[in-house]
Chains A and B, each alone.
Chain A
Amino acid sequence: KQEVTQIPAALSVPEGENLVLNCSFTDSAIYNLQWFRQDPGKGLTSLLLIQSSQREQTSGRLNASLDKSSGRSTLYIAASQPGDSATYLCAVAGTASKLTFGTGTRLQVTL
């Protein structure tokens, strides 16, 4: 059974810092990996999707990497802003369109 772990569970950084969020998964037989953002009490917003054949994807200040063989992905956020404060979730897609989610990293960017 696939298990997805995100460390740390919470992170606080000052504005302007670059930061890395980590995601690890136990079964490397994945089709893709997706990073989401969730604001308190809200739904999920898709940030990036990396196919299993890709090594990384970029969108603006966000860069996600994937090392399938070692079961790891990272989300790099450049020049963090207070508006980046949210919970970040990673999810891996296995068979039958099913996503397995991590429990998230709660990020706070302080002024």
Chain B
Amino acid sequence: DVKVTQSSRYLVKRTGEKVFLECVQDMDHENMFWYRQDPGLGLRLIYFSYDVKMKEKGDIPEGYSVSREKKERFSLILESASTNQTSMYLCASSLEGLDEQYFGPGTRLTVT
């Protein structure tokens, strides 16, 4: 079974802090994704990566950056957290191209 893990289930940070969210997959998948999920807005794609050191902006990349130094790990970085980044963050991976996506358990981030 594919396993996607995220470093924290719950996280509370202060405005202005630098925040790192980590995601690891164990199935040698090429593609990795970061989404955020908000009530009434659904899931929205922040960034994705189709190879090591490669990244592409999604629909809402503003205020975020990403890092993929190893194939299995994809990090989402909030350079200076703001209250409007309070959300559920979900990581996903897929083998390649348009294959089925597998999701991690999510990180609920609260910025105060």
- A residues in contact (CB < 8 Å) with B: 31-32, 34, 36, 41-46, 49, 89, 91, 93, 96-99, 101-104
The stretch from B13-21, B62-70, B71-79, B104-112 touching chain A is B104-112
Q: How many A-B residue pairs have CB under 8 A?
A: 52
Q: Which of B48, B98, B106 contacts A32, CB < 8 Å?
A: B98
Contacts of A32 in B (CB 8 A): 98
User: Could you tell me if A43 and B90 are in contact, using CB atoms closer than 8 angstroms?
Assistant: yes
Query: Contacts A31-B98, A44-B90, A103-B40 given: A98-B103 contact, CB under 8 Å?
Result: no
Q: Would you call the interface of chain B mostly helix, strand, loop, or mixed?
A: strand
Q: Would you call the interface of chain A mostly helix, strand, loop, or mixed?
A: strand
A42 to B56, CA, bound (A): 26
Contacts of A89 in B (CB 8 A): 42-43
